[in-house]
Amino acid sequence: MILEEKKPCLSVLLPSYNNAATILETIKSILNQSFKDFELLISDDQSTDQTVDLIRSVHDERIKFYVNEKNLGCGGNLNACLNLASADILVYVCGDDILDVAALEKIYKAFQISEEIGTVVRPYYWFEEDYRKPVRVTKQFDKTKVVSINSPFGQVKDVVALADQLSGIGFRRKHIVGHFEVNPFVETASMVVKMLKQSSSVILKDNIVAVRIGFSNSRNCSVYQKSPMLSWANMINKVLIEEKFKKLKKYLIRNFIARNYIGLVQIKNYGGFKFLLREIWYLLKFRWQNIFNIRFWFFSLGTIIVPSVILRKLVVGYKNVFNSRFLKNLSINNNF
């Protein structure tokens, strides 16, 4: 009698590409989880550094490692992971981020609330070198909540906003709609919004992941050839195309996408002046009321006037001296 192999309760999906400097820390944070019933599926997208060798140096029966035959790009590699996973609950982690020791446990428990939970999202913070030293943080929550497409617009916005980073987001397979988009900036968010149309999402109250800044693709100038703001607006318009979502769509574009003033700093520092002016124009196009907003003028004029070399130093100083002092209590726990 041949016994069928028991499926793990959860699949952790790690899409890797040129993560040699960080991949071992990420893997250790996953293997050190309090929740043990999972497989770690790693799909490498033809790395050109030592990533593959480093992954192969880690020996754990929960790891399943694959190398794509050709480079698929970010969205393509997310889909490769999805196709290889065996569990019904999937959690993605990028190759340079760190999970809290209880991250998988909290995600799994959230899915047990109801079979109608399609996604689990979470607040998180950014760090540079030491994951125990937050330098920037998302909106924080005082309690875990369940959100549907029919919830108050502000709650829907919270779900969409927390889907701007991949790591630590959970998906229930039966509610997944199609595949991940290949458009930069919105690969994850487009899937989350599609799923929210037919299933609910849980927003965890805890920070369960630390997102690394230094190795982010958002510091690559070429990624800004296409406007981040326009990419988000096009995604919202495409996914929420039905007439019944007209008011929600308008709300998200005006109150989420067109209020990301701080994004101008990133674009000035790593995209350049031409792309900065383009994003300022979109801030006004999508929300003309920005002309009366002090924060809009502060970030617009500040990024136009201050040279990138000085602006980068100001940002680093602000994060490391001011932010890190007030955010230290938000640090995740994972003593791997």
Look at residue 1 and tell me whether its pLDDT is greater than 50: no
Q: In this predicted model, what pLDDT tens digit does every residue of 117-140 receive, in sequence order?
A: 999 999 999 999 899 999 999 999
Range scoring the smallest mean pLDDT among 201-210, 211-220, 279-288, 293-302 = 211-220
pLDDT band, very low/low/confident/very high, at 323 (cuts 50, 70, 90): confident
For residue 148, what pLDDT is reported? 98
With beta carbons less than 8 A apart as the criterion, state whether 15 and 81 touch.
Answer: yes
Q: In this predicted model, what pLDDT tens digit does every residue of 180-236 receive, in sequence order?
A: 998 889 999 999 999 999 999 999 999 999 999 976 555 566 789 999 999 999 999
CATH architecture of 10-217: Alpha-Beta Complex (3.90)
DSSP assigned state of 275? H
Look at residue 177 and tell me whether its pLDDT is greater than 60: yes
- What is the average pLDDT value for the chain, to the nearest integer? 94
Please give the residue that has the higher pLDDT: either 174 or 184.
174
For residue 216, what pLDDT is reported? 57
Look at residue 238 and tell me whether its pLDDT is greater than 60: yes
Residues of the chain with CATH 3.90.550.10: 10-217
**Which residues does 281 contact at the CB level (< 8 Å), separation at least 6?**
none
Look at residue 2 and tell me whether its pLDDT is greater than 60: no
46: alpha, beta or left? (left if phi > 0; alpha if psi -120 to 50) = left
Q: In the structure encoding, which two tokens stand for residue 167, read together?
A: 């790591």
Q: What is the average per-residue pLDDT within 244-256?
A: 98
DSSP assigned state of 293? -
User: What does the alpha-carbon distance between residue 194 and residue 212 come to, in Å, rounded to a whole number?
Assistant: 27
Q: What is the average per-residue pLDDT within 92-106?
A: 98
Quick one: how far is CA 107 from the chain centroid? Answer: 15
Q: What is the average per-residue pLDDT within 63-77?
A: 95
Long-range contacts, 248-252 (Cβ 8 Å, 24+) = 248/149, 248/153, 248/156, 251/153, 251/157, 252/153, 252/156, 252/157, 252/160
